[in-house]
Amino acid sequence: MNSVEKNLDIYKIIIVEKDYNIPLLLDKTISSSKYSLSKYINLQEANTQIKTADILILDISNISKIELSILKSIRKENPDLYIILIINTEECIITLRELKELSVQGYCEKDDKLNQLPLFVETAIKSIEQMKMIKTINEELLSSKEQLVKSYLESIEILRYTVEAKDTYTRGHSERVSEYSVLIGKHLGISSKDIKTLKIGALFHDIGKIGISDSILLKKGKLTKEEYNEIKKHPVIGKNILSNAEIFQDIIPIVLHHHESYNGKGYPNHLSGKDIPLLAKIVCVADAFDAMTSKRSYRDELDISYVKSEIKSQAGIQFDPVVATTLLDILNNEYRLILEIKNRY
Write out the catalytic residue numbers.
Answer: 209
Q: How far apart are the C-alpha atoms of 206 and 29, rounded to whole Å?
A: 68
- Strands in the chain per DSSP E: 11-16, 35-40, 55-59, 82-87, 106-109
Pairing relationship of beta strands 106-109 and 82-87 according to DSSP bridges: parallel
User: In this structure, what DSSP letter does residue 302 have?
Assistant: P
Q: How far apart are the C-alpha atoms of 343 and 83, rounded to whole Å?
A: 58
Q: Which residues pair with 11 in a beta bridge?
A: 35
Question: What is residue 38's three-state secondary structure?
Answer: strand
Spatial contact of 319 and 262, defined as CB atoms under 8 Å apart: yes
User: In this structure, what DSSP letter does residue 266 have?
Assistant: S
Residues with Cβ within 8 Å of 133's Cβ and at least 6 positions away in sequence, in order, are none
| DSSP letter string, 154-205 | HHHHHHHHHHHHT-GGGTTHHHHHHHHHHHHHHHHT--HHHHHHHHHHHHTT
